[in-house]
Amino acid sequence: MDARPLYIPVVLGTARKGRMSAHVARLLTTEISKQAAVQTDLIDICNLPLPTNDAGEGIKDSGFSSKMDRADGLVIVAPEYNHGYSGLLKHVLDSCLKEYIHKAVGIVGVSAGPFGGSRVVENLLPVMRELGLVTIFWDVNFSAVQNCFNPGGELLDSAYLRRVDKFLKELIWMSRTLRYGRENVAS
């Protein structure tokens, strides 16, 4: 077994003010950092200096690209915007291409409503496939997110931790398996 730690960053996929998904992204980053032989970072898309007057690799940020290239897997925390995802998240994701090929991705849906971002997950799946990412079998969905955390960002319902643990076990397994494949199996 490879002794190198996996690198699985968390991408916070919204730049809106008052975003409750920031609490979710911090929770995921904390839980990943507790995993043996896994390193992580929180990548907040509102801090990426990407222009909006061009698209795709023409706007590539070297810091983000470097993290995606290094990544073995990735977590995307995406709030649901009218049954879809943030345009800025799509803009950021499209700035890289080859960096994603054969890497695992897990999607965490966030919603103020009762469906927990399940529609954003559904809408992101074909995008992940087109980018070359491999989606895992489990998602985590935060329904009525405004009731899941206290004002300080502390989780109020520990049942989410069991869901996050199941999600991370699958993501880590898939990340490790795909890294082995990228490095040892001819394409």
In a domain, residue 36? The reply is: yes
Report the distance separating Cα 97 and Cα 151, nearest Å.
Answer: 37
Position 75 in a domain: yes
How many structural domains compose the chain? Answer: 1
Tokens of 26: 């911090």
Residue 1 counted as domain residue: no
What CATH number does residue 54 fall under?
3.40.50.360
**Strands 42-44 vs 10-12: parallel, antiparallel or unpaired:** parallel
pLDDT in tens, 66-88: 999 999 999 999 999 888 899 99
What pLDDT score does 1 carry? 60
With beta carbons less than 8 A apart as the criterion, state whether 79 and 13 touch.
yes
Instruction: Determine the average pLDDT of the residues in 88-112.
Output: 96
* Residue 59 resides in a domain: yes
Please identify which residue in the block is written with the tokens 């994603």: 100
pTM for the predicted model, two decimal places: 0.95
Measured torsion, CA atoms of residues 170, 172, 177, 180, in degrees rounded to the nearest 10: 170
Domain hosting residue 147, numbered range: 6-184
Give the three-class secondary structure for 181.
Answer: helix
In the block, which residue shows the tokens 């869901």? 163
- Asked whether residue 145 is domain-assigned, the answer is yes
